[in-house]
Amino acid sequence: MQLPQRFSALPEYAFPRLRALLAPVPAGGEVLHMSIGEPKHRFPDFAMQALVEHAAGFNKYPPNEGAAELRAAIARWLERRYALSAVEEADILPLNGTREGLFNACLALCPEQKNGKQPLVLIPNPFYQCYMVAARAAGAKAVFVNAEAGNGFLPDFAALGAAVLDQTAVVYMCSPSNPQGATASAQYWRELLALAEKHDFKIFADECYSEIYRAAPPVGVLGVAQQVGADPERVLAFHSLSKRSNLPGFRSGFVKTGPKNIREMRQLRNYTGAPIPLPIQMASAKVWADEAHVIENRALYSAKFDLADKIFAGVPGYASPSAGFFLWLKVPDGEQTALEIWQKSGIRVLPGAYLSQGGADVNPGRAYIRIAMVAEIDEIERGLLAIKSAISPPRGI
């Protein structure tokens, strides 16, 4: 049995592909996983206490629209974080992980046609793989827009021209970006909002890495949208506790948008979705209300990136990211380099081409590896030193 045609041509997913690449070759040292962006820092103890306190909620079906306590906590966080005024709790939909929302929003909101043609979904390249599958599931055509060093690792959607933009229904935009750690400025968001208004498309802003940054907090799309008076239905902002609070297993996130979008997403979930279990919702409300653990978490990442700056000082291709928890390291060939690092040291990193679309010569991730900075700092130091040794030419060359 084969998948439906719209899914049959999907490329091999990144991590099975990495396993297949490395499996024939013995590890050259103690194995250290620096390929998967799974947070390893300690999550706040009070989250588990809250989960136990509300454990009786596992005996109930969770409310489809999300618990009032959770939506209120998220609304207050948005007001504090982005200086938003009077966020409507009804305009927030808690999500069973933001992947659910990023996928289902496209199903719920992407039309069957745009100006009489198959709709387009614009996707940064490299990208989170969920975006591409969501576009295909919605019957849209995915258009990959390269985000390379020359444009600050931010896709230039305006350069696509009016014909493409008029056919566009949805633009996925990740800031801080995965894998490069680039952040959209207020001006970038303003220009994208203006394009959305002019060409009538929606912006799906994936801001899951927004709380992991080095200096200034990244600008959020909702704050800029409020400043320019943008139509709230134009913008969907997605956030998560996975990175902010080291709780990927909670599968707890949310989307904030206009009431019509929320209504359409809720209606789809009525038939197909699974809301977050109620005890996790109640514990999540406590987590969104606390910033102390987020500040501590951010400091741990900052220390790791300071270490990376020191280790890779003067190494060609190294650039220190402003946000997120990945290094996007330029190398001659990402796949070959990942294999060599594994063979020499036992360190697993991800070839950048596995996160991108394009042929061998035009894939914007081909000449990069992604290094996840999620382990404890002593392991990070061991891993980075081994990577530097593996990619550095022998002395005298």
Within-domain flag for 396: no
Q: Are 383 and 346 in contact (CB under 8 A)?
A: no
> For residue 395, what pLDDT is reported?
43
Which of 241, 273, 290 is at the close of a domain?
Answer: 290
Instruction: Give me the number of domains the chain comprises.
Output: 2
- CATH number, domain at 79? 3.40.640.10
**pLDDT value of residue 284:** 98
User: Could you tell me if 59 and 142 lie in one domain?
Assistant: yes
* CB atoms closer than 10 angstroms to residue 367: 19
Judge if 243 and 375 occupy the same domain.
no
| Coil vs helix vs strand at 291 | coil
CB atoms within 10 A of CB 87: 20
Which portions of the chain are predicted below pLDDT 50? 395-397
- 222 and 338 co-located in one domain: no
For the entire predicted model, the pTM comes to: 0.95
Q: Which residues of 21-42 are buried (b: 16+ CB within 10 A; e: fewer)?
A: bbeeeeebeeebbbbebebebe
334 and 223 both lie in a single domain: no
So what's the pLDDT on residue 4?
A: 66
pLDDT of residue 3: 58
pLDDT of residue 37: 93
pLDDT (0 to 100) of residue 327: 97
Per the structure, the complete domain to which residue 239 belongs is given by: 45-290
**Has residue 397 been placed in a domain?**
no
Domain boundary residue among 290, 323, 340?
290
Strands 368-372 and 253-256: unpaired
Tell whether 300 and 278 lie within a shared domain. no
Given 290, 322, 349, the domain boundary residue is 290
Instruction: Verify that 76 and 196 share a domain, yes or no.
Output: yes
